[in-house]
């Protein structure tokens, strides 16, 4: 590695490591329809990257007559069942996780899914990828607030400004940028232009630890000269 490695790599989960957004949308639609309502693709897209308590409130607006906690539990259980059948890995994610794992660079999972969902996905990675998992259970403020990323950096004992975050949603990028991390937006369902991401990639396929090290070095230099 020519440029210094990041102090840590901080990973979003849904849409970045695994393409679970269709699973969430399927679960949301089934729940709304079970209460006689109609779920729309447009409504589903507004929830991408959101904290689950916000998602639950939106579903209540669509007629789901359940407490927020029960909505979150039902959605999460449905997505976990689908993941058990097939893990929808995003291109290049496991390979990049493995690359940093081999180098001994600390990595954390930073997700607004609940803890049991985060662990369910992490356990399907074929090596012990994460030194910390920060889920919705661990924070008071969900994304776009920076708390989750700051909590992850603190758990790993690293400088957030020397860490790289990988995110696929506007909400997630906003959270990571506000934390002070160097942020690479990996576009998937949403356009990430004008989100504040330091770099935007179309995919992680073919990306290596060197690529993230270069981004860190470039952004660090830009910060010094600003």
SS (H, E, C) 144-186: CCCHHHHHHHHHHCCCHHHEEEEECCHHHHHHHHHHCCEEEEE
Query: For 8-19+89-225, which CATH superfamily applies?
Result: HAD superfamily/HAD-like (3.40.50.1000)
Confidence of residue 62 (pLDDT cuts 50, 70, 90): very high
Report pLDDT digits (tens) over 74-122: 999 999 999 999 999 999 999 999 999 999 999 999 999 999 999 999 9
Of 2, 8, 56, residue with least CA distance to 157:
8
21-85 maps to CATH 1.10.150.240: yes
pLDDT of residue 187: 92
**Segment 186-207 mean pLDDT:** 92
Question: Where are the domain boundaries for CATH 3.40.50.1000 in the chain?
Answer: 8-19+89-225
pLDDT at 1 exceeding the cut of 70: no
pTM (two decimals): 0.89
> For residue 54, is pLDDT > 90?
no
């Amino acid at each position: 590695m020519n440029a210094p490695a990041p102090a840590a790599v901080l990973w979003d989960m849904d849409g970045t490591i695994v393409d679970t957004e269709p699973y969430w949308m399927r679960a949301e639609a089934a729940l709304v329809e079970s209460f006689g309502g109609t779920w729309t693709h447009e409504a589903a897209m507004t929830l991408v990257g959101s904290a689950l308590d916000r998602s639950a409130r939106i579903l209540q607006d669509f007629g789901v007559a359940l407490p927020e906690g029960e909505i979150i539990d039902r959605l999460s259980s449905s997505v976990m069942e689908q993941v058990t059948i097939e893990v929808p890995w995003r291109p290049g994610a496991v390979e990049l996780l493995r690359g940093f794992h081999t180098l001994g660079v600390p990595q954390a999972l930073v997700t607004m899914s609940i803890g049991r969902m985060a662990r369910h996905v992490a356990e399907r990675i074929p090596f012990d990828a994460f030194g910390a998992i920060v889920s919705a259970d661990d924070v008071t403020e969900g994304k776009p607030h920076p708390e989750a990323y700051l909590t992850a950096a603190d758990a790993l004992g690293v400088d957030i400004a020397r860490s790289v975050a990988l995110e696929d949603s506007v909400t997630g990028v906003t959270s990571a940028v506000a934390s002070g991390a160097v942020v690479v937006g990996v576009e998937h369902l949403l356009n990430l232009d004008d989100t504040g991401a330091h770099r935007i990639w179309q995919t992680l396929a073919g990306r290596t630890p060197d690529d993230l090290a270069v981004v860190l070095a470039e952004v660090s230099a830009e910060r010094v000269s600003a």
